[in-house]
Amino acid sequence: MQAIFNYFQKYLPFSLEEKELIASKFTLRNIKRKQMILQEGFVCKHYFFVMEGCFKMYAIDEKGNQHNLQFAAENDWIADIGSFHSEKPSKLFIEAIEPSVILQIEQQDLYFLYLNITKLNIIFKVITEHKFIELQNRVLQNISSTAQQRYLIFLEQYPHLAQRLPNTQIASYLGITPEFLSKIRKDLSMKPIS
Residue 169 domain-assigned (yes or no): no
Quote the number of domains for the chain.
Answer: 1
Residue 105 domain-assigned (yes or no): yes
Residue 83 domain-assigned (yes or no): yes
Contact 170, 181 (CB under 8 A): yes
Residue 133 and residue 139: Cα distance in Å, rounded?
10
Residue 175 domain-assigned (yes or no): no
Straight-line distance from the first to the last Cα atom of the chain, in angstroms, rounded to the nearest whole number: 44
Residue 85 domain-assigned (yes or no): yes
Give the model's pLDDT for residue 159: 87
CATH number of the domain that residue 2 is part of: 2.60.120.10
pLDDT along the chain (194 residues), means of 10: 92 95 97 98 98 97 93 96 96 98 97 96 94 91 92 90 91 93 91 66
Contact 160, 170 (CB under 8 A): no
Residue 194 per-residue DSSP state: -
Residue 145 domain-assigned (yes or no): no
Residue 13 domain-assigned (yes or no): yes
Which domain does 22 fall in, by range? 1-117
Residue 141 domain-assigned (yes or no): no
